[in-house]
Amino acid sequence: MKISELRTRCRLFAGIEAGEFAPVLRCLAAVRRSCSDGAAIFRAGERKFSVGIVLSGGVRIVHEDFRGRRMILAQVPEGELFAEAFACAGIGALPFDVVACGRTEVLLADYERIVTRCSNACAVHARIIANMACILAEKNVHLATKMQCLSLRSTRDRLLAFLSSRLDKGRDTVEIPFNRQELADYLSVDRSALSRELGLMQKEGLLRFHKNRFTLL
């Protein structure tokens, strides 16, 4: 994605006119950065980090416990923000790793410049602050949905809840951004148990799947 496309594809800039966009990026001290697959954009424990926007590729928020077990907390696609909640909370150190998924380009912006209105108290900055509030609220809803999914005890119930939450209204097929190990990490279940359950669910006529494409029946 070109930076110029962000104005219409990133919710942070909703309502910003074309002539206002370049000055806004300068105001936010935005910097472009390229990352290889699996590269760390931010590491857990970092005390200085920015708000990021995915220009191409994808970003994952990942937690690794003291035993080395990995859990994927979120997958961030093109045009979406990452690390904004951590910056907003004013935490002392980032609690999770932020890594590139495939060849990735991101735009990094200073959070303080996003949420602090400039000396002119311009309407453009007010819109950005309002947009950020909406993004944070929507992500809270998404987090609540995931927590509800992880509160289910069985692998089958977690799978069904996850796939159902990904379906667009009126559709029964969805493609997910995970392979089997990544899906197991996201649902916090064992990969072997996940694969076994998928096979059973397909035999029982609950779903069909091919690679990362699933159809609920």
| CA 186/CA 34 separation, integer angstroms | 25
Identify the band that residue 216 occupies on the pLDDT scale cut at 50, 70 and 90. very high
Among 104, 130, 146, give the residue marking a domain's end. Answer: 146
Provide the pairing of β-strand 104-109 with 97-100: unpaired
| Pair 140, 165 in one domain | no
CATH number for the domain spanning 182: value is 1.10.10.10
| Pair 95, 199 in one domain | no
Tokens of 212: 């990362």
Among 106, 122, 146, give the residue marking a domain's end. Answer: 146
Question: Maximum CA pair distance of the chain?
Answer: 64
Say whether pLDDT at 149 is over 90.
yes
Give burial (CB, 10 Å; 0-12/13-18/19+) of 15: middle
Mean pLDDT, range 12-20, rounded to an integer:
91
Instruction: Dump pLDDT digits (tens) for 71-97.
Output: 999 999 999 999 998 888 877 788 899
Say whether pLDDT at 169 is over 80.
no
| Pair 63, 156 in one domain | no
| Pair 142, 161 in one domain | no
| Pair 59, 163 in one domain | no
pLDDT in the model for residue 189: 95
| Pair 77, 173 in one domain | no
Identify the band that residue 119 occupies on the pLDDT scale cut at 50, 70 and 90. low
Tokens of 100: 């590139």
Among 99, 120, 146, give the residue marking a domain's end. Answer: 146
pLDDT in the model for residue 120: 62
Task: Find, among 144, 39, 152, 168, the residue nearest to 102 by Cα.
Answer: 39
| Pair 60, 12 in one domain | yes
Say whether pLDDT at 121 is over 60.
no
Count of domains in the chain? 2
Instruction: Report the predicted TM-score, pTM, of the whole model to 2 decimal places.
Output: 0.86
| Pair 132, 206 in one domain | no
Domain extent, residue 58, equals 3-146
